[in-house]
Amino acid sequence: MDEELRYKIATTMFKGVSPMLINSLVEHTGSLESFFRGKKLDLNKISSLNEFRPCVIDTEDALMKADKEIDFCLRNDIRIISSDEPTYPYRLKQCPDAPQILYCKGDISFNNEKVLAMVGTRRATLYGRNACNDIVKGLKEKGHDVVIVSGLAYGIDVASHKAALDNDLRTIGVVAHGLNQLYPAAHKNIARRMVEEGGAVLSDFSTLAFAEPRNFLKRNRIVAGLSDAVVVVESAHKGGSMITASLANDYDRDVLALPGKSSDKYSSGCNLLIKEQRASLIENAEDIEYFLGWESIKEENRQLDIPLFDMNAEEKLVYEYIDKIGKTMINDISLYTNMSISKLSGILLSLELKNMLYSLPGNMYSTAP
């Protein structure tokens, strides 16, 4: 194990000592190595740091804890990712409070082209759970290789992870404790499946950290920081999802929210975000494409496979009209092209066989499914 990485892990082992103070101490001593050679530093004796409350920094104890952490990770196939490594999530690195060290179970790359966080209440309704699946399924059907990030908690979090797995997409669960445990324990099987199917379980906490309430607030910054955008599916006025949305706003990430009835407690937070213009209103995968500028990959591929010059003049006329108008009735196409229904039916069938058109109920046609 790289000695510099060992020192970095050790800097996270000081209980009740802020990263700001550690950075100041490292700057005072000149380097990480010099800092840890000091074994014990008494802040009372460092006049330049008198703005910090007096305490003793036991570097020797921190190094012992770091060695135990490294040994645990090696034995349990857990990756340790330092902020100066190329594998560190580049989106997260843009955040001012990004952690120095991440612990990861799984081989996923965090720098996927498209990463979407989905968060919400632990008391998810059927509406919220169905919305998770519909959104993820819609993104998959449109050809998006998107990684879904959430917090592996009850409710919307686990519904989002399940939706990703059910639609053959990778998913990352960010937890609020060390990777020697899993909270809630009921999600151990789904966490195992996430890792086995190309995703990951991620934490910036060592094995010394348990699932304490304050840790969940810290965890939320990782969820927001990893992602291009945060989708709030269901939330009350207060709660972790609203904090995650605020963090995403601070990080200049898009926040998207599903609206709900004004009488629904677990839509009130989403409605508030939309009303205060802290989130854009979305209803489906198409809305996410629009706000994030994602083009439908399958539609692109379909049109590239059968370019316009492979059509005859009549097919091209029909196709361009439907593509311009959108979902269109056969009678309207007949009026525009001045073709009989019988002749038009043959042309439409030909375009369908070329995968250029889709037949819809009610004698309607569209260039998109």
Q: What is the pLDDT of residues 181-205, one digit of tens each?
A: 999 999 999 999 999 999 999 999 9
Question: Burial letters for 279-317: b for 16+ Cβ neighbours within 10 Å, e otherwise?
Answer: bbebeebbbbbeebebebeeeeebbeebeeeebeeebeb
**Percent of the chain scoring above 90 in pLDDT:** 59
Separation CA 231–CA 220 (nearest Å): 13
pLDDT at 298: 59
User: Considering the domain 114-292 in this protein, what is its CATH number?
Assistant: 3.40.50.450
Give yes or no for a contact between 18 and 51, defined as CB atoms under 8 angstroms apart: no
Residue 101 has pLDDT above 70, yes or no: yes
**Contacts (Cβ under 8 Å, ≥6 apart) of 43:** 49, 50, 52, 53, 54, 55, 56, 57
Q: Give the chain's mean pLDDT.
A: 87
pLDDT in tens, 333-363: 888 888 888 888 888 888 888 788 888 777 7
CA distances from 133 to 44, 141, 218, 332 (A): 56, 12, 27, 35
pLDDT at 300: 47
Neighbours of 29 (CB within 10 A): 17
Residue 49 has pLDDT above 90, yes or no: no
Residue indicated by tokens 């190329």: 86
Strand order from edge to edge, sheet including 171-174: 79-82, 101-105, 200-203, 171-174, 146-150, 114-120, 229-234, 254-257, 280-281
Question: Which of these CATH numbers, 1.20.58.1910, 3.40.50.1370, 1.10.1240.10, 1.10.10.10, describes 297-366?
Answer: 1.10.10.10
**Contacts (Cβ under 8 Å, ≥6 apart) of 18:** none
**Contacts (Cβ under 8 Å, ≥6 apart) of 314:** 337, 339, 347
Residue indicated by tokens 């990959």: 297
> In 300-357, where do the E strands start and end?
328-329
User: Burial level of 43, CB count in 10 A (0-12/13-18/19+)?
Assistant: buried
Separation CA 150–CA 230 (nearest Å): 9
Residue 31 pLDDT class (50, 70, 90 cuts): confident
Question: Burial letters for 226-241: b for 16+ Cβ neighbours within 10 Å, e otherwise?
Answer: bbbbbbbbbbbeebbb
Residue 103 has pLDDT above 60, yes or no: yes
**Residue range(s) of every CATH 3.40.50.450 domain in the chain:** 114-292
pLDDT in tens, 71-85: 999 999 999 999 989
pLDDT at 19: 66
Angle at which helix 285-292 crosses helix 126-141, to 10 degrees, equals 60
**Torsion sign, CA atoms 10, 14, 20, 25:** negative
DSSP state of 53: P
pLDDT at 40: 55
Lowest mean pLDDT among 37-41, 116-120, 131-135, 171-175: 37-41
3-state secondary structure of 210: coil
User: Burial level of 107, CB count in 10 A (0-12/13-18/19+)?
Assistant: exposed
Give yes or no for a contact between 243 and 275, defined as CB atoms under 8 angstroms apart: no
**Residue range(s) of every CATH 1.10.10.10 domain in the chain:** 297-366
Pair of tokens at residue 25: 């101490």
pLDDT at 303: 46
More confident residue, 42 or 247: 247
pLDDT in tens, 285-329: 999 999 999 887 654 444 444 455 578 888 888 888 888 887 888
What is the mean predicted confidence (pLDDT) over 269-291? 96
What is the mean predicted confidence (pLDDT) over 161-185? 97
